[in-house]
């Protein structure tokens, strides 16, 4: 059974940085996309970025491009979201998700971690 566990959230001042981790277990993820999503209070969940586990190719939403970086550690089955130059509008619950490259929808989700950026 797939398990995704996020960590690393917290409170940071605007302009600061945080690194989120997503520990993945339960299967081999070589044929998967690992995505990061976020949901701010009163808003719908939105895509932040993703990584093709096999190739390492990354994709980012325009709102975070140039500030966020996704990477993965194959040895530890962990995906990271490095967030720099944080803005108050980045405040949200951040979720890690996984989908097979053949699927359109993300099938597996973590429990989320809160990121709060103060102005």
* pLDDT tens string 44-64: 999 999 999 999 999 999 999
Q: What is the pLDDT of residue 96?
A: 98
3-class DSSP state of 65: coil
Distance CA 36, CA 97 (A): 6
Q: What is the mean pLDDT of residues 101-106?
A: 95
Tell me the pLDDT tens digit for each residue of 4-47.
999 999 999 999 999 999 999 998 899 999 999 999 999 999 99
CB neighbours of residue 35 within 10 Å: 22
Q: What is the pLDDT of residue 32?
A: 95
**Beta strand 78-83 pairing with 68-73:** antiparallel
């Amino acid at each position: 059974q797939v398990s995704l566990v996020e960590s690393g959230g917290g409170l940071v001042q605007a302009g600061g940085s945080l690194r989120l981790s997503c520990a993945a277990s339960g299967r081999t993820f070589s044929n998967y996309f690992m995505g990061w999503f976020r949901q701010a209070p009163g808003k719908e969940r939105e895509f932040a970025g993703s990584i093709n586990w096999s190739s390492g190719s990354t994709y980012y939403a325009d709102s975070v491009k140039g500030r966020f970086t996704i990477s993965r550690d194959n040895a530890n089955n962990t995906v990271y979201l490095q967030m720099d130059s944080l803005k108050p509008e980045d405040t949200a619950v951040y979720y890690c998700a996984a989908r097979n490259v053949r699927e359109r929808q993300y099938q597996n989700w973590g429990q989320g971690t809160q990121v709060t950026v103060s102005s």
